[in-house]
Each structure stands twice: as C-alpha cells, then as structure tokens.
Amino acid sequence: MLWMEKFKKSKFRIFKTFLISKFVFINGIISIVVLGLILAFLIYNSLKFFSSYPFFDFISGTRWSPTVNEKFGFVPLMVGSLEVAFGAILIAVPLGIGVAIYIGELAPRLVRETLKPIIEVLATIPSVVLGFIGLKTVVPFVKNIFSLSIGLTALSGSIILAFMSLPTIISISEDAINAVPNGLRNASLALGANKWETTYKIVVPTASSGILAAVMLGLGRIIGETMAVLMITGNSPRIVFSWLQPVRTITATIAAEMGETVQGGLHYSALFGIGLVLFLVTFLTNFTADRFVNRIRNII
Amino acid sequence: MSNNIKIKVKNYGFYYGKIKVLSDITMDIEQNTITAIIGPSGCGKSTFIRTFNRMNDLIANSKVTGEVSVDGINIYKNNVDVVELRKKVGMVFQRPNPFPKTIYDNIAYGPRLHARYSKQKLEHIVEDSLKKAALWDEVKNKLHTNALELSGGQQQRLCIARVLAVNSEIILMDEPASSLDPISTQKIEDLIDELKENYTIIIVTHNMQQAARISQKTAFLLTEKIDEPARLIEYDDTNKIFTNPGDKRTENYITGRFG
C-alpha cells in the first residue's frame, strides 16, 4: 500500500496549492481595488468642481481661462486633443500598417530580423526625449515648410505622437500578420493569386483583428501622451480648426497647470474634473475597441 | 480510358540548396486518370507533387533539373506565366485551408482574381463548383456564413470546389483525407472518383488502401539510403502494383514490411 502512503503525505501539497491560489487571487484583487481607488480619488477630488460649476458651462464652454476669470470651458481642450490625436492617427496608421506588411510579408529574412527589434526599441525612448527632439526638428520643419511665425502647432504634435505610436502599431500588426497560417497564403497562391493579391485579399483581412488592436493601443498611447504634446503643441487653449495653429490638449492642461493651483481650490478640482473625463474617454475607447476586436476574433 | 498524355516528366530532379532530394524521375501522366504517388514519410512525395504547379518556387535556394511538361509545354521555362499554370493546375492541401471568409467568397475568390464576372455569372460559378464538389446540398442555404463553421470534411470539399471554380484541368491533392474521419474520407474518395471524368488527378497518399481503391496508376517513390535522393522505383497500373509488383522493394513496401 505504498501509493496510499504517498497519497496521505500530500496534505502539504494541498496546503501549498491553497496558498498559491490565494496569493494569486489577492494580487488580482489588489489591482482591481487600486483601479477602483483611482477612480474614486478622481471623483472625490473633482466633486467640488462639478457641484459648484454649472455642468453645462463646463461641457459646452468655449473658453478655458481658469486664473483670470475662472472660466472652465472644456471645448477648446477637447478640440485640441482630438485634433492632435486625429492627425497622429492619420499619419501613423497607414505608415504603421505599411511597415508591418513590409516586415511581415515582403522583407527578406535578414532585414526582418534586424528591423523588428530596432523598431521595438524605439518604443522605449522616453517621451520627454522625443518631445525635445521634436522641438529641435519637427517644430522648425513645420514652421519653415508652411512659413508660419511659430512652429508649435497641432501638426507638430501629431507628427511626434505618430512616431511615438508607430512602434506599437508596427510591432503588434506584424505579430498579427505573422500569425496568419501559411496554409492560407499557399491556398491563395495555388489559386493563381500573386504575392500582392494574397497579401491584401487574404493576409491583411485575416490579421485585421490584430491590426485593429494595434491601432487601438497606438491610439491609447496618443490620447494619454502628455510630455511631448506639452512641449510642442504651443499650449494655447483656444478653439482653432487648423493644424497649423497652437492648441492645448487635455493632458497638457493638467500637467501645465497643476503646479500653479491652490490645493483644494476650484481650479485644482477642475483639473481633476478634466482628468476624470479623460479617464472615461480612454476607458470607453478601450472598452469598445476590445469588444470590437473580440467580435472579429470570433468570426476568424 | 483515354491514353492521352497530360503531363510528361523527364529526368526530373529537385534540390533543396545543395541537397538533392529527388532524382531522375521520368513518367507520363495520363489525362482523366487518377495517379497515386505513394512512398514512406519524408521521401519527397509532397515536394514532387508541388512540382506540377511550381509551388516549390516559394522555397528559397531550391532548384529543378530535367523537364516537366503540361500539355506539351515545359513549365520550368522562363517565359511560363505561373498564374496561368496555377489556374490550369489546381491544388488541394493536406489540411483543409478555407479562407476566413464566407463560403461564397471562398469559391468566388479564384474567379474574381482572374476576370471580372457579373453577379449572376459568379453565382452560377459558385453553385456549379459546389455541385461538382458534392457540397451544394449541404451549404446552399448558408452560402454567406463563414466557411470555418463547416466540418473538416466539408471544408476539404469546399477547398476542392474552390479549385474547380477556376476551371483547372489538373488537380493536385496532397494527402487530402489524412486529417479527416473515415466517413468524410469516404465522401472525398467518392468525389475524387467522380472528378476523374473531367479532370486529371494526382494524389499523394500515405494510405495504401486508399491508393489501391481510387487510383488507376500508382507511382512508388523511395529513398533507399539516408543522404541519397528519392527515386521512382516503380510506376504502373495500380492493379499491377498492388497484385503483382515488378520490383521487390515495391512488394516489401505495399505488404507493410517497412515504411
């Protein structure tokens, strides 16, 4: 009955398993609790603002002038953020997917194996460094090419943000393209399709859910990015519908103004308010993107 | 059975880089016939069948020697259009590989590549191909659902229909039933048998009973020693190969003494 003896001894193992599972459970719970606390903290700190400042004036106000006459209009910041983000997406998505297709489908092995790690390393450049590089390269470039009096514009921000999101978009899109089973490529080629037809009719559509996830993650980086846009978009909280004018994003507003506020004051609370809005916007973007990605994944 | 020669292989050899894997194969493949290629694992059967639609072009550093002619044209000449060749010589793979698209779009994929068809014409092609592949009755009410929802056997028949849709004359099948259950295998075999009326079929198979059941001609490939290329040991009527093989090695193989 030796095996029965062994069986009895495994009580320690049961205990160990119990400990490990509880440990993992607690870790999981902590991360959720922390997330909840962040949300609670945002709401708590912005409560003063939302209870004393008319919500309609906040959401539709066209002037952000917190120190002079305590106007907290959200529209200029929203427009600034959207302009910069939209421009960045417009640049980054075609470029990123193009590079991913090149690396994944067309590049010779050696090129692929050197290019991909290099691109992934680009993602680790701190945003303040990129902002500084942008200040010295992109800003004068935009200024000269459009003969502006100042190069700190939404377009400059878009360009730098596009470059910041490119490594994410390229790397994840390329993973998705790589994951397309070779059998599909062979089937397409065997039906008489050429390489290009196979790529855009079979490979890219099959990888589309992954590519979409890549774009969404890139978008997340773009919307949340603070330092670089603070440095090069000019920080002018006015509503302008031009890429060649200075704008100010939600993130840059918080970063720029938080240091000058009175803790607990209306301005302080207002900054938490726009932080809360930013949080909700990014949360909703990710949430819908996630559901969309899942839906496509189910089809494939 | 007509004895028209559809494909002529002469002194054919194949190299992966410097390694020669197939050597000195000479055989004539008849029109409207099912030709089975048998042999132990790793002897280059799949490599050989991929010769006929030049799928081996995709392998870096591969090299072909000798001559392979389809309808009298050497397909390894420089001026041969691979797209035209692959229209004429379709291929069904070991694992069913439908595109993650609808059933309809899977069939229409090939025709759409090669010409602009009207909607009616395309619908006709899709229906016709699915009927020829004995799949129409099972899918006619769900042409616009995703092909991946079909069973493995249905997917494989869909892949056959996909080849039929581009009007291929020759169909290469690389172990088309090896990943299927016996009932699906039966259906595929019945289908292959029907298709030989209008198509020339070359099938690689592991399964000797399958070769004996469905083919009229059988070719036996064998690598005799490690590091040596595989050769064509015997090529003859299937009946003869399985009842009275002319070569001792063939007999050993089909009676299951090795391989």
Q: Output the six-digit token pair for B71.
A: 């309808």
Does B109 contact A201 at a Cβ distance shorter than 8 Å? yes
* One pLDDT digit (tens) per residue for chain A, 300 residues: 566 666 666 778 888 889 999 999 999 999 999 999 999 999 999 999 999 988 888 888 888 888 888 889 889 998 999 999 999 999 999 999 999 999 999 888 899 999 999 998 988 889 899 999 999 999 999 999 998 888 899 999 999 999 999 998 999 899 889 989 999 999 999 999 999 999 999 999 999 888 888 888 888 888 888 888 888 988 888 888 888 888 999 999 999 998 888 888 899 999 999 999 999 888 887 787 777 666 655 544
Residues B25-54 as b/e (b if ≥16 CB within 10 A, e otherwise) read beebbbbbbbbbbbbeeebbbbbbbbbbbb
Correct CATH for A82-299 of 1.10.3720.10, 3.10.129.10, 1.10.1050.10, 3.40.50.970: 1.10.3720.10
Backbone angles phi, psi at A250, to 5 degrees: -60, -50
- Cα–Cα distance, A192 to A187 (Å, whole number): 9
In this complex, the residue of B97, B113, B159 whose CB is nearest that of residue A192 is B113
- Say if A38 is an interface residue toward chain B (CB within 8 Å): no
Assess contact for B41 and B84: CB atoms under 8 A.
no
State the pLDDT at residue B1.
Answer: 44
The residues with which B29 forms a beta bridge, in sequence order, are B7
Q: Cβ A186–B83 below 8 Å, yes or no?
A: no
Q: What mean pLDDT is reported for chain B?
A: 91
Answer yes or no: are the C-beta atoms of B238 and B218 closer than 8 Å.
yes
- Residues in B whose CB is inside 8 Å of some CB of A read 53, 55, 58, 83-84, 86-87, 90-91, 93, 95, 97-101, 109-110, 113-114, 146, 148, 159, 162-163, 166
C-alpha span between A155 and A247 (Å, rounded): 10
Class of domain B5-254: alpha beta
The C-alpha atoms of residue B101 and residue A7 are separated, in whole angstroms, by 52
Quick check: A183 and B93 CB within 8 A? yes
Q: What is the pLDDT of residues B122-140, one digit of tens each?
A: 999 999 999 999 899 999 9
Give the pLDDT score at B3.
Answer: 65
Burial of A75 (0-12, 13-18, 19+ CB in 10 A): middle
- Which residues in chain B have their CB less than 8 angstroms from residue A193's CB? 83, 109, 113
Which of A111, A191, A199 would you mutate first to test chain B, the one with the most B CBs within 10 A?
A191
Is-contact A129 A229, C-beta < 8 A? no
Q: Which amino acid would we find at residue B210?
A: Q
Q: Flag the least confident range among A223-237, B65-79, B96-110.
A: A223-237
Q: A188 to chain B, minimum CA–CA distance in Å?
A: 8
User: Measured between alpha carbons, how far is residue B76 from residues A69, B69, B169, B237 in Å?
Assistant: 82, 8, 18, 28
What's the confidence (pLDDT) of residue B58?
A: 83
Q: What is the residue extent of each domain of chain B?
A: 5-254
Give the closest residue to B223 by CA, choosing from B24, B11, B83: B24
**CA B199/CA A195 separation, integer angstroms:** 27
Contacts 24+ apart (CB under 8 A), A31-38: none
Take residue A112 and report the two structure tokens written for it: 């692929």
Who among B97, B113, B166 is closest to A183 (CB)?
B97
A194/B58 Cβ within 8 A:
no
Q: Quick: pLDDT tens for B22-44.
A: 999 999 999 999 999 998 888 88
Average pLDDT of span B239-243: 91
Q: What is the pLDDT of residue B225?
A: 83
A299 touches chain B (CB under 8 A): yes
Residue B86 has its nearest CB partner, among A184, A192, A202, at A192
Of B53, B87, B100, the CB nearest to A299: B100
Residues of A in contact with B95 (CB under 8 A): 183
Is-contact B11 B24, C-beta < 8 A?
Answer: yes
Residue A191: which of B84, B110, B146 has the nearest Cβ?
B110
pLDDT of residue B85: 93
Is any Cβ of chain B less than 8 angstroms from the Cβ of A197? yes
DSSP-based three-state secondary structure for B218: strand
The pLDDT score that the predictor gives to residue B49 is 94
Q: Which residue of A has its CA nearest to B81?
A: A192
Which residues have C-beta within 8 Å of that of residue A279, sequence separation ≥ 6?
A39, A42
What pLDDT score was predicted for residue B258? 66
CA distance B143 to B108: 11
A298 touches chain B (CB under 8 A): no
Question: What Å distances lie between residue A259 and A116, A225, A247, A267, A268, CA to CA?
Answer: 40, 18, 20, 11, 9
Amino acid at A132: F
Q: Domain map of chain A by residue range?
A: 82-299
> How much of chain B, in percent, has pLDDT values that exceed 90?
68
- Name the amino acid, one letter, at A222: I
Q: What is the pLDDT of residue A98?
A: 95
Question: By the 8 A CB rule, do A252 and A230 touch?
Answer: yes
Residues near B58 by Cβ (< 8 Å), separated by ≥ 6?
Answer: A186, A189
C-beta atoms of B83 and A194 within 8 A? yes
Q: Which amino acid is at A78?
A: M
| Residue A13: per-residue pLDDT | 81
Q: Lowest-confidence range among A7-21, B65-79, B165-179, B194-208?
A: A7-21
Distance CA(A177)–CA(A36), nearest Å, equals 36
pLDDT the model gives residue B130: 95
**Predicted pLDDT of residue A11:** 78
- The predicted structure's pLDDT at residue A7: 61
Residue-wise pLDDT for B147-162, tens only, equals: 999 999 999 999 999 9
Which candidate, A88, A109, A71, places its Cα nearest to that of A237?
A71
ipTM of model? 0.90
Asked if B83 and A205 come within 8 Å (Cβ–Cβ), the reply is: no
